[in-house]
Amino acid sequence: MLSRSRPSVLFGLLALLSPALAFAWGETGHELVNGGAIGLLPPDLRPFFERHRAELVRLANEPDRRKKIDKAEPPRHFLDMDIGGSPGEYPRKFADAQRRFGAKAAQDQGTVPWTIEAMTAELAAAMTAGDEASIVDVAGRLGHYVGDSFVPLHTTSNYDGQLTGNRGIHKRWEAEMLELFPFDAEMQPWMSPAAEVEDPLAFAFDTLLASHAEVRNILDADTELKPLRGTPEYFAKLKEKVGALAARRLGQASTGTASLWYTAWVKAGKPALPEPAAKRGE
């Protein structure tokens, strides 16, 4: 927690020493989530997003890059919802979390659900304004936070298994395993067309609770495989045990991202999105 909330030089150093703190889902995972989401959009939205595919995929990792230069960034990526009671009872309003834990602790324990809520509204505003650059920027970065909320280890104070003898599991599960095995086909069955989300904040909390329910499975698998750590066999077995879980959370994160993009558009009143400028002579 210390390292996640203390940026600057110290944070940079810690990030180098402990790459788990620097990336979530690994770059590959976030690219799969944003890239997959585009194909789940309805015909009114999809062409605009397809046209900006390269940028949306690049932006999928922008918030992690920003952690290195912006001290306010790290808490936006997680919620330690097991602090202060059962995860289901974590305050749904940030003001309530501040009252209960104090302003600093509430911030340090993470703000991902409120970040998702605020950015969905920001995306709707950009769509209303017809601001092409802003729509792409906000949508791309929103996909990152949605992706993070689908990662079990982003919902616990034991975020790197450091409290249970599983240190390093964050990166092993969500980054290294994803680099070693292709997940793009395996996540497909969990992807479905974008659907309107009535309440983005409630959606984010539901997502986080579902993620939290899987923390134990990941830690148990890692504990069982402890003797194999550092070997290729470790990752093969980890994939066997909790690879399907990663595929499911990746696919669902893609669906969630597409659904929040779509929801922002509905909230904006379904405006026509900016068209490419006509070329001269057309």
Q: Which residues bind Zn ion (CB under 5 A)?
A: 24, 64, 77, 148
Neighbours of 256 (CB within 10 A): 28
Q: Kindly list the distances between the CA atom of residue 21 and the CA atoms of 15, 120, 170, in Å, as whole numbers in the listed order.
A: 6, 25, 8
* Residue 132 or 137 having the CB closest to Zn ion: 137
- Give least dist CB 232 to Zn ion, A: 27
Cα–Cα distance, 201 to 256 (Å, whole number): 12
Amino acid at residue number 136? V
* Residue 65 or 167 having the CB closest to Zn ion: 65
- Give least dist CB 185 to Zn ion, A: 24
- Give least dist CB 24 to Zn ion, A: 3
Q: Kindly list the distances between the CA atom of residue 188 and the CA atoms of 119, 173, 182, 184, 218, in Å, as whole numbers in the listed order.
A: 26, 19, 12, 7, 21
- Give least dist CB 39 to Zn ion, A: 22
Contact 183, 247 (CB under 8 A): yes
- Give least dist CB 69 to Zn ion, A: 14
* Residue 24 or 124 having the CB closest to Zn ion: 24
* Residue 55 or 73 having the CB closest to Zn ion: 73
* Residue 132 or 160 having the CB closest to Zn ion: 160
- Give least dist CB 99 to Zn ion, A: 27
Cα–Cα distance, 193 to 204 (Å, whole number): 18
* Residue 115 or 255 having the CB closest to Zn ion: 115
- What distance, in Å, lies between the first and last C-alpha atoms of the chain? 57
Token pair for 133: 């650059």
Amino acid at residue number 81? M
Contact 143, 30 (CB under 8 A): yes
How many Å separate Cα 282 from the centre of its chain?
A: 41
